[in-house]
Structure 1
Amino acid sequence: MALDLTPLLGPRRDDTISTMVRGLVGSEILRIAGEIREVVAQGKQVCNLTVGDFSPKEFPIPPGLSEGIATALKAGETNYPPSDGVLSLRQAVLRFYERALGLKYPLESVLIAGGARPVIYAIFRAVVDPGDMVVYPVPSWNNNHYTHMVGARHVPVVTDPEHGFMPTVEQLAPHLKEARLLCLCSPLNPTGTMISPEALRDISQRVVEENRQREAQGRKPLIVMYDQIYWTLTFGQTKHVTPLELVPELAPYTVFVDGISKAFAATGVRVGWALGPPSIISRMKDVLGHVGAWAPKAEQVAVARFLDDVPATSGFLEVMRRRVDERLVALHQGFTAMQEAGLPVRSIAPQGAIYLSARFDLIGKAGLKTNDDIRKLLLDKAGFALVPFQAFGLKEDTGWFRLSVGAVSLEEIRAALPKVEAVLRESAGK
């Protein structure tokens, strides 16, 4: 007979956990996603634009990748991988970057991990000490939580829709003198916008200038974390740029965050990587070696083979971009038509990633006081599920939301838009 421990465990006790964990805020996105699952389980039809994930039904991973994983498993690739990644994958990533981005790195500059999240955590752990200053724009994904976990000082820089929610050098400059880590991301989660080459060049040059002064003073340099996990997903005439192609002198201070999760709709395959200065990468490897946040070996072997299959990767990405873009465009055109009809909604034309930024200007109307009020209204009356920018570090109730299209069909979007319009007409008294 099993020993029932339930009576001994008692209620939750805060004195058993650390101060850091006690102050750690759980993911608002995952909380909302859980709420949506409950609503769907009750039988309600929902156009779920909340999670930054892909439905395998709508966006299956490339056949060559899934077949490669199966082949690697059958071949017995099931033991521990090297702590910095399988050699063939590290080499394939280097070839991929040289071929697609024009950036040539040495082998010591690449680190493989179980997705991009461990990479980001390792960057924070490798370069940031407690009390150091971390500068990051808001809205942005999880920089606030990683900063909290390492005990650093938060410097959130609030951006604006006029600049696509991207930071400018004028906004960042006052904080760079003291900063240890600057977090940038393009295409940006949650907004689906991209930084302009001019803005990125200005920021990169300012960081180089700052680090030249620090070197003369014997101070630690300012490191840039450049998260480009969505860089293969760009639309229209918008072109992805890296800071190093604009200002190569930034290379000793830049760590890229990347992986296959978004490019190949492979969020559950868990293969990510970092590229950067070997001095930082080697210490990140040590951090992840203790955490054990490696990508599974079979997946690494399969990704290495797939990245080197240029026709397969190029063909998949071409179709992927088109299918993501048509969903984003359908939303944007729908909101634009509503705006032109005088309804309180606007959106920013899609540029990259799988996200659309939309503002529902309903604060103060129909008794709505917060973004969460708007979110619940759209969910209850239109079956339209989305995430407020508060989930990405922005405190103000501005009416801005993230809409993610990886888990919905084009038909679901088209069916939902008239319901959203009806809610807006009712709430705005149109």
Structure 2
Amino acid sequence: METHTELVEGEIDLKYSLAERVKTLTPSSTLAITAKAKELKASGIDVIGLGAGEPDYNTPENILKAAAESMEAGFTKYTPAGGLPELKNAIIAKLERDQKLTYKPSEIMVGVGAKHVLYTLFQVILNPSDEVIIPIPYWVSYPEQVKLAGGTPVFIEGTKEQEYKVTAEQIRSAITEKTRALIINSPSNPTGMIYSEEELKQIADVCKEADIWVISDEIYEKLVYNNAKHVSIAQLSDDAKERTLIINGVSKSHSMTGWRIGYIAGDETIVKAMTDLASHSTSNPVTTSQYAAIEAYNGPQDAVEEMRRAFESRLKEIYPKVAAIPGFNVLRPQGAFYLLPEVREAAEKTGYTSVDDFAQALLEEANVAVIPGSGFGSPDTIRLSYATSLDLIEKAVKRIDEFVKTKWQD
């Protein structure tokens, strides 16, 4: 192996220096907890994880079968960079069926998961110092992807009193001449909250006034509860549709997180630029996964509804138990599969100076892995996923409750 001579002070080892763009990245706050949880499990300790960001169901059988049949038929080669025409047509049919929105194939681009689609989108719409408005709490990758594209995240907070949603007036106040886009995630990760049609109308009006893009992350659209309704901001008017860039995929709706298929529906010029960029990065989405996604959208949807009902049932069980834990203050979500309790009081009453330390202690002493809210811009909270069995959920909540009550100091 090559050895390295010692550098003179002030010199830079160019071979091992990193690009400035990655030096700005904030490490994920979940990594330490995740690594520790794996370490404890490997040593035989019964750790219960409530950090999952994916359904605990296998991909439906009809989708597995379609994928296998595609491989057996020899469909294992390159496809167009922006996705198979058949998959684009399936997405178009889905958008017409579910949102009553009409798109052309040239307005659809398929990528390697919704995360890759978002990354590619920011790369093609942002120039250095362009701003993107991001509501807090946010999904962890939004600000990092904006920074990687040379943009600047601008944060506005949706407080608990606002059900963790931001208002049109907050958005208006945050807009500057550098504002390029606003991100809306409904249902939200990590809050599970949903923007109403009236709230979206007010937001659409502000975005029209400022002439900015709306990036509408709708990946959890199928997971809504208590008769709640998902509305896409693109449905509200012709103008709203023209300025909205819908991001979605099969990961959450069809339990296909590992298949990595997501898509954008929106402006033709942006979609073409994204497709051109993808042709130089990924070449194309995984061919087998595309055939699986065609079946996901064109085939029976019974499994989607079955999974939704199961999550709703779990929510009914877990919510009152979490709400009853001393020092936990939690809103009942309307969608996704997360709870985001504010636990600052519980952390302080049990002797911890930060919620991150409290979450670490839950793992090490109560053997329950949760995600600190600091990674979502919400440092007084923790995220609990109920995308696991009801039995494990109940055991985990009981452990947390006992941990808090045992350590509580008035």
Question: TM-score normalised to the size of structure 2?
Answer: 0.93
- Is the CA contact 2:250–2:296 (under 8 Å) kept in the aligned structure 1? no
Match of 2:49 in 1: 48
Alignment-mate amino acid for residue 155 of structure 2: P
SS in 2 for 1:348: coil
Alignment-mate amino acid for residue 407 of structure 2: S
- Is the CA contact 1:128–1:181 (under 8 Å) kept in the aligned structure 2? no
Are residue 405 (structure 1) and residue 386 (structure 2) matched? yes
Instruction: Quote the offset at 1:10 in angstroms.
Output: 10
Match of 2:340 in 1: 357
Partner Cα separation in structure 2 for residue 150 and residue 275 of structure 1: 20
Alignment-mate amino acid for residue 264 of structure 2: A
- Is the CA contact 1:118–1:293 (under 8 Å) kept in the aligned structure 2? no
Match of 1:373 in 2: 357
Are residue 291 (structure 1) and residue 281 (structure 2) matched? yes
Match of 1:153 in 2: 152
- Is the CA contact 1:90–1:112 (under 8 Å) kept in the aligned structure 2? yes
Instruction: Quote the offset at 1:318 in angstroms.
Output: 1.2
Q: Among residues 113, 117, 129, which one is paired with 1:119 in the alignment?
A: 117
Alignment-mate amino acid for residue 146 of structure 2: T
Alignment-mate amino acid for residue 264 of structure 1: H
Partner Cα separation in structure 1 for residue 201 and residue 265 of structure 2: 20
The number of aligned residues is: 402
Partner Cα separation in structure 2 for residue 45 and residue 78 of structure 1: 41
- Residues 354-405 of structure 1: per-residue CA shift (max 9 Å, x gap): 21111222243232100111101222232221111111134xx42x111122
- Is the CA contact 1:144–1:393 (under 8 Å) kept in the aligned structure 2? no
- Residues 198-257 of structure 1: per-residue CA shift (max 9 Å, x gap): 21110111111222xxxxxxxxxx111110011011011211011122233122211111
Match of 1:336 in 2: 323
- Is the CA contact 1:33–1:51 (under 8 Å) kept in the aligned structure 2? no
Partner Cα separation in structure 2 for residue 374 and residue 244 of structure 1: 41
Partner Cα separation in structure 1 for residue 217 and residue 25 of structure 2: 22
SS in 2 for 1:331: helix
Identical pairs, percent:
28
115-124 or 329-338, which deviates more: 329-338
Alignment-mate amino acid for residue 16 of structure 1: S
Partner Cα separation in structure 2 for residue 330 and residue 10 of structure 1: 61
Q: Among residues 374, 377, 382, which one is paired with 1:390 in the alignment?
A: 374
- Is the CA contact 1:387–1:403 (under 8 Å) kept in the aligned structure 2? yes
Alignment-mate amino acid for residue 27 of structure 1: S
Match of 2:311 in 1: 324
Alignment-mate amino acid for residue 206 of structure 1: V
Q: Among residues 127, 136, 139, which one is paired with 1:138 in the alignment?
A: 136
Match of 2:97 in 1: 99
Alignment-mate amino acid for residue 420 of structure 1: I
Partner Cα separation in structure 1 for residue 30 and residue 285 of structure 2: 24
SS in 1 for 2:407: helix
Are residue 419 (structure 1) and residue 402 (structure 2) matched? no
Instruction: Quote the offset at 1:138 in angstroms.
Output: 1.5
Q: Any runs of at least 4 consecutive aligned residues in structure 1 with deviations exceeding 3 A, and if so which?
A: 6-15
Match of 2:227 in 1: 237
Partner Cα separation in structure 2 for residue 329 and residue 140 of structure 1: 24
Partner Cα separation in structure 2 for residue 33 and residue 9 of structure 1: 37
Alignment-mate amino acid for residue 399 of structure 2: K
79-88 or 378-387, which deviates more: 378-387
CA RMSD of aligned residues (A): 2.0
175-184 or 88-97, which deviates more: 175-184
- Is the CA contact 2:235–2:241 (under 8 Å) kept in the aligned structure 1? no
Alignment-mate amino acid for residue 368 of structure 2: F
* CA spacing shift, 1:330–1:380, aligned 2, 3 Å: farther
Partner Cα separation in structure 1 for residue 228 and residue 63 of structure 2: 28
* CA spacing shift, 1:293–1:116, aligned 2, 3 Å: farther
* CA spacing shift, 1:275–1:425, aligned 2, 3 Å: same
Partner Cα separation in structure 1 for residue 77 and residue 161 of structure 2: 50
Match of 2:197 in 1: 197
Partner Cα separation in structure 2 for residue 30 and residue 287 of structure 1: 30
Match of 2:183 in 1: 183
Gaps of 5+ in 1: 212-221
Instruction: Quote the offset at 1:32 in angstroms.
Output: 2.7
